[in-house]
């Protein structure tokens, strides 16, 4: 992985030259690649992921990418659901998530390979988008709960433990941010606002957040096997 940063006017991009080159044949990416209009004009949109961000699945050469614009939730979204306070490109949510994902990926942890992050500055605010590779055939744990056996749930717990041992505090650990691929491997996605920390109470807070998520799918019983896998990893 080779991260490259460049600026075009008030647009800032951080991308992995190898990922872009593998997909497009050239280690170049433009701000347009981070917009839905670019892919729609090329009839390259293959689907849409659930969630308020309206992430798109797009076809880039012979690869599949996920384009995710950053969107706010809660009350502040009524003012603006796309703008964030500008404090520098490196402190933007997109650049921080890109660098964190690249770091974890380089350690061999199961996160989708990051492709690039783009930030558009507007005076004191900015908008942003992130592109990662898509995991073919992967499903959210939320969609597998009705058929998930104890072995799968224990692998979920063991995977979370791997991330915790690496110091990742996932602030939105839920049943939709855990994916299961066709080989039954568990992946973790959406690292927005996440960070690396030393051991602490945040680990249990992550697990409790996941348990609350499972409750929304009437699957709190799954935490027994998840915690067993977590403890034995």
Q: What span, in angstroms and rounded, lies between the C-alpha atoms of 126 and 82?
A: 8
List, in sequence order, every beta strand (DSSP E) within the chain: 3-8, 11-16, 45-48, 56-60, 63-69, 84-85, 114-122, 125-133, 139-140, 168-169, 178-180, 186-188, 195-196
Marked catalytic residue, from 81, 103, 143, 172? 172
Q: Is 22 a catalytic residue?
A: no
> What backbone torsions phi and psi does residue 66 show, to the nearest 5 degrees?
-115, 120
Tell whether the torsion through CA atoms of 130, 66, 54 and 211 is positive or negative: negative
Catalytic residue set: 172
């Amino acid at each position: 992985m080779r991260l490259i940063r460049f600026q075009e006017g008030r647009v800032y991009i951080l991308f992995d030259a190898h990922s872009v080159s593998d997909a497009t044949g050239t280690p170049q990416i433009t701000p347009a690649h981070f917009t839905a209009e670019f892919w729609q004009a090329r009839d390259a949109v293959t689907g849409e992921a659930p969630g308020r961000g309206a992430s798109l699945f797009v076809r880039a050469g012979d690869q599949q990418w996920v384009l995710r614009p950053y969107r706010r939730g809660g009350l502040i979204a009524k003012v603006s659901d796309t703008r964030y306070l500008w404090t520098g490109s490196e402190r933007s949510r997109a650049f921080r998530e890109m660098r964190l994902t690249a770091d974890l990926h380089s350690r061999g942890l199961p996160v989708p390979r990051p492709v690039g992050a783009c930030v558009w500055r507007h005076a004191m605010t900015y908008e942003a988008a992130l592109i990662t590779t898509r995991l073919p055939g992967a499903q959210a744990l939320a969609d597998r709960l009705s058929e998930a056996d104890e072995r799968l749930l224990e692998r979920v717990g063991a995977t979370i433990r791997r991330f915790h041992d690496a110091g990742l505090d996932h602030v939105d650990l839920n049943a939709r941010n855990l994916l299961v691929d066709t080989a039954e491997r568990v992946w973790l996605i959406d690292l927005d606002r996440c960070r690396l920390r030393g051991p602490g109470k945040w680990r249990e807070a992550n697990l409790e957040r996941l348990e609350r998520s499972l409750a929304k799918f009437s699957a709190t019983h799954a935490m027994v096997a998840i915690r067993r896998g977590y403890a034995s990893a």
